Copies of this chain bind each other. A is one copy, B any other.
Amino acid sequence: MLTTQRKQHILAVLQRDGQIVAKTLSQELDLSEDTIRRDLRELAAEGLLQRVHGGALPASPAVVDFAGRSTIASDGKAAIGRVAAEMINDGQVVILDGGTTAVQLARHLRADLKATIVTHSPSVAVELAQHPSVEVILIGGRLFKHSVVAVGVAALESLGHIRADLFFMGVTGVHAEAGLSTGDHEEAYMKRALMARAAETVVLASAEKINAASAYVIASLAEISGIITEHGVADALLEPLGAAGPSITLA
């Protein structure tokens, strides 16, 4: 591969995932880490990205989120999205909730996946529009602006026609006793309705959601099949769940 093109690829990956891990990329492109590091250094010199220990982050200060990371995080939401995306098989009907993690999932679907994705999140729908083969069903309704998802009777009514294999749900709190919760009453109701339409529900929860609880309870942990979250945070905290609870997958 031509080096110029490789650099473009690096920038594209950076744009897509929000970060670059030197080691991962070297394996992906079948090049030594030295070469990747050289590229990253040069791109950093051009101001096209920001070099950090372990890889690189976007240069644009707009993305420099809280506290300005100085290390590559454990991939965070992108990693959760990647792992979740791999759980979907050809031919399945999958419901996708709203939220940034769900957008990451949509972004990391296999390019040749032939499945039907149902979502009430316009953001997810926009992302999925770029996928070459999945069928996308958009659930309409009144837009709940805070979370940018459709809710209300119209949305619930549309769901009546849906029967899904899997529902990837976003929540704002996962707690051993309080269960799954979110910050809005109507949103909680909508999520319960979505759960009811799917054979299994898997929760996507980035680190900060673990062992937190919000005002409105969606369901208990016993009612879901699995939780996908990040390394390091949840290990001990969710352990007490034992065999009765959902399976926990670490990204």
Q: Looking at the complex, which of A32-40, A139-147, A232-240 is the stretch in contact with chain B?
A: A139-147
Is there contact, CB below 8 Å, between B140 and A67? no
Is there contact, CB below 8 Å, between A53 and B2? yes
Q: Does A89 have its Cβ within 8 Å of any Cβ on chain B?
A: no
User: Given A122-B138, A142-B137, A158-B140, do A2 and B15 touch, yes or no (CB 8 Å)?
Assistant: no
State which residues 122-156 of A face B: CB under 8 Å: 122-123, 125-126, 128-131, 135-143, 145, 148, 150, 154-155
Q: Looking at the complex, which of A3-11, A184-192, A216-224 is the stretch in contact with chain B?
A: A3-11
Query: Looking at chain A, what size class is its interface with the partner chain?
Result: 35 or more
Is there contact, CB below 8 Å, between B137 and A140? yes
In the assembled complex, which residues on chain B have CB atoms less than 8 Å from the CB atom of A81? none
Q: Does A226 have its Cβ within 8 Å of any Cβ on chain B?
A: no
Among B11, B131, B145, B154, contact of A161 (Cβ-Cβ < 8 Å) = B154
Is there contact, CB below 8 Å, between B122 and A126? yes
9 closest A-B pairs by CB: A140-B140, A122-B122, A136-B143, A122-B125, A15-B66, A129-B148, A4-B52, A138-B140, A129-B145
